[in-house]
């Protein structure tokens, strides 16, 4: 493992590279503090993916938001944001003005446990670390694990390649998840939104599990096979 950057509190944001193919995908977990089952899924899949050669190499970032994860775990509160109270998945430079407009309509104007996108795009070190990684490595496609809802989001405006829907549908077929559209407040400002708009390549958000965040750890063993199945499709032929 190696560090792609530091969190607000100076924790390393770790990544692991698997495979030697020049064709590479990216999987990111732990974007939101309460969604720590995604960290377990990313780590477990990393171990399994390394067991055999594949045509698509992977970079896996198991936990983008270590500070927020610690807050959610140790204080046992609903906390999606980072240490600064900024929701990382609203902090990417994608349709920024509309993101802020929707926040204001909901009365969100300052640091918060959830949905505050910050004062400007890429204001947070965690966001900048992931943006820097994507600018330095030519990823063919990316996938961010979130929870919950058993849904797959795949598009972001006119920059979305047509083939992304077919891949999303294949992931849905093997997992029992559904291809869906996020609610308006969750549109724009996200990692997959930025990746699609910036690179015109496929980006996905996968909402793992069912229930209310934080999902209990006891859900993991039953839910992971669904996630593994869709990740295997994501990481299929280049």
- Distance from chain centroid for Cα 139: 14
Query: Whose CA is closest to 18, among 53, 66, 42, 44?
Result: 53
Q: Are 4 and 13 in contact (CB under 8 A)?
A: yes
Alpha-carbon distance of 54 to 50, in angstroms, equals 9
**The token pair that represents 84 in the structure block:** 């600064």
3-state secondary structure of 126: helix
Sheet of strand 24-28, all strands in order from the earlier edge strand to the far edge: 2-6, 12-18, 57-61, 24-28, 139-146, 202-207, 151-153, 178-179
Q: What is the pLDDT of residue 83?
A: 98
Q: What is the pLDDT of residue 52?
A: 74
Q: Are 18 and 46 in contact (CB under 8 A)?
A: yes
Query: Whose CA is closest to 214, among 8, 87, 71, 89?
Result: 71
Residue 43: count of CB within 10 angstroms of its CB: 16
Q: What is the pLDDT of residue 207?
A: 98
Query: Whose CA is closest to 50, among 37, 60, 40?
Result: 60
| Residues lower than pLDDT 70 in the chain | 185-186, 238
Please list, in sequence order, all residues whose beta carbon lies within 8 angstroms of the beta carbon of residue 167, skipping any fewer than 6 positions away. 141, 154, 202, 204, 233, 234
Please list, in sequence order, all residues whose beta carbon lies within 8 angstroms of the beta carbon of residue 101, skipping any fewer than 6 positions away. none
Q: What is the pLDDT of residue 186?
A: 67
Q: What is the pLDDT of residue 20?
A: 87
Confidence (pTM): 0.96
Q: What is the pLDDT of residue 187?
A: 79
User: In degrees, to the nearest 5, what angle opens at C-alpha 11 toward C-alphas 91 and 224?
Assistant: 75
Q: What is the pLDDT of residue 34?
A: 97
Q: What is the pLDDT of residue 91?
A: 97
């Amino acid at each position: 493992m190696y560090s792609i950057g530091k969190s607000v509190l100076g924790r390393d944001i770790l990544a692991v590279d698997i495979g030697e193919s020049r064709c590479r995908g990216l999987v990111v977990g732990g974007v939101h503090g309460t969604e720590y089952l995604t960290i377990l899924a990313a780590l477990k899949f990393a171990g399994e993916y390394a067991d055999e050669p594949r045509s698509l190499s992977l970079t896996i970032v198991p936990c983008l938001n270590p500070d927020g994860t610690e807050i959610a775990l140790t204080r046992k509160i609903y906390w999606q944001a980072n240490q600064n109270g900024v929701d990382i998945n609203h902090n990417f430079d994608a349709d920024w003005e509309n993101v802020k407009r929707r926040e204001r309509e909901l009365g969100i104007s300052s640091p918060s446990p959830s949905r505050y996108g910050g004062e400007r795009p890429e204001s947070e070190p965690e966001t900048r670390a992931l943006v820097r990684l994507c600018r330095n490595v030519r990823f063919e496609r990316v996938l961010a694990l979130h929870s919950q809802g058993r849904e797959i989001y795949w598009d972001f405006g006119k920059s979305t390649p047509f083939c992304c829907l077919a891949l999303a549908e294949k992931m849905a077929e093997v997992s029992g998840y559904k291809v869906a559209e996020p609610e308006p407040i969750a549109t724009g400002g996200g990692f997959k939104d930025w990746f699609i708009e910036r690179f015109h390549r496929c980006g996905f958000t996968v909402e793992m599990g069912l229930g209310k965040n934080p999902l209990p750890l006891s859900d993991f063993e039953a839910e992971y096979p669904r996630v593994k199945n869709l990740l295997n499709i994501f990481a299929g032929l280049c």
